[in-house]
Amino acid sequence: MLALIASFFLLSLSVYGLPAQDILNAPRPRPLVIWHGLGDSYASSGILEFQSMIQDIHPGIFIHSVYIDPDDKEDQRATFYGNVDEQVDLVALQLANVTELEGGFDAIGFSQGGQFLRAYVERYNTPPIYNLITFGSQHMGVADMAVCKPLDLLCRLARNAARAGVYRPWAQEHLVQAQYFRDPAQLPLYLESNRFLTSINNELPATRNATYARQLAALEHLVLVIFAKDKTVIPKESAWFGSYPPSEDGDDTDDEVIVPMRAQPLYQEDWIGLRELDERGRVVLTSCEGEHMQLPTECWKPLVERYVGLPQS
């Protein structure tokens, strides 16, 4: 009976001018993985709406939204509290067990989700990411904590705790923002205390990992999106691997001076494969107008059309 139904279906396609074999062999769009940002969750209304819009652009695309906890509220809490290295380990295991992702996928990281996906590329990348798009991500860390909304108690508690002792062991183990806090006035302390950002940026010569550089350089494209009026990520140029210069003797940072990506030691000495990727024309620097994570359609849609959902066998 099933064979009869299948034959009738294929015959119907031919009658309407649709070659049956072409339909069966039509390539599917490459899957997509999304990692949300601070204060968001994997199944929030915003993430679900964004997924729906992508599916309108690429019909039939499979999308997986990364989660640390299947409970939506706990997943949101994990964006503030938790060990980032352990979270990346958890996500690597999660992605390895999603059948639809076995052949690889494209990925979008919102805010801190962007550098977390980069950590996945460098440390795991099985299955592999092909194109990685990061929106307003803190690739060179932040020099100040994000300002919270007035009634966001969870954010305010985490921010106050981090600011009180950002480089103390407890903060570096349990406060997510602290694990990518890079104070130009305290770089020696940062290099001594931080475990996550110093690792994925290969900043410590004694533990520099050549695998990180090789795997990042293997990306098809790394698309770095900055928000032109971003006041949440400090400095906003961190989204493009920019940072404040080291300040001497603990002086205050000159927030008018930025060390751009191609002037960073990380780039010039190619600690993470970023220079190799860029010299092959595979690093894309682009911007969105507006504040942090304000995503008008004209900003994100061309990127999703070009770097997401390419046909796969």
- What 3-state DSSP class applies to 79? coil
Averaged pLDDT for residues 194-211: 97
pLDDT of residue 108: 98
Comparing 73 with 26, which gets the higher pLDDT?
Answer: 73
pLDDT of residue 6: 46
Residue 194 above 50 pLDDT? yes
pTM of the model: 0.87
pLDDT of residue 14: 46
Residue 256 pLDDT grade (very low, low, confident, very high; cuts 50, 70, 90):
confident
**Helices and strands of the chain, counted as H and E runs:** 14, 8
Residue 289 above 80 pLDDT? yes
pLDDT of residue 23: 45
Active-site residue, from 111, 137, 238, 243: 111
Taken in order 87, 193, 271, 79, the sign of the CA dihedral is positive
Residue 238 above 60 pLDDT? yes
Please name the residue that has the structure tokens 């990346």: 88
In the residue annotation, 230 being an active-site residue is answered as: yes
Comparing 15 with 45, which gets the higher pLDDT?
Answer: 45
Q: Which domains does the chain have, with CATH numbers?
A: 1-26 (no CATH), 31-307 (3.40.50.1820)
Using a 10 angstrom Cβ sphere, with 0-12 exposed, 13-18 middle and 19 or more buried, the burial of residue 104 is middle
**Which of 36-45, 93-102, 160-169 has the weakest average pLDDT?**
160-169
Residue 18 above 90 pLDDT? no
Residue 178 pLDDT grade (very low, low, confident, very high; cuts 50, 70, 90):
very high
pLDDT of residue 146: 62
pLDDT of residue 1: 47
Averaged pLDDT for residues 189-193: 96
Measured from the Cβ of residue 159, the count of other Cβ atoms closer than 10 Å reads 20
Residue 144 pLDDT grade (very low, low, confident, very high; cuts 50, 70, 90):
confident
In the residue annotation, 111 being an active-site residue is answered as: yes
Partners of residue 25 on adjacent β-strands: none
pLDDT mean across residues, the chain: 89
Active-site residue, from 75, 106, 230, 270: 230
Strands (DSSP E) contained in the chain are 28-29, 32-35, 63-65, 105-110, 129-135, 221-227, 283-288, 311-312
**Which of 117-121, 192-196, 249-253 has the weakest average pLDDT?**
249-253
Comparing 265 with 251, which gets the higher pLDDT?
Answer: 265
Using a 10 angstrom Cβ sphere, with 0-12 exposed, 13-18 middle and 19 or more buried, the burial of residue 91 is buried
In the residue annotation, 292 being an active-site residue is answered as: yes
Comparing 56 with 247, which gets the higher pLDDT?
Answer: 56
Averaged pLDDT for residues 152-181: 81
Residues found in the chain: 313
Active-site residue, from 36, 58, 64, 292: 292
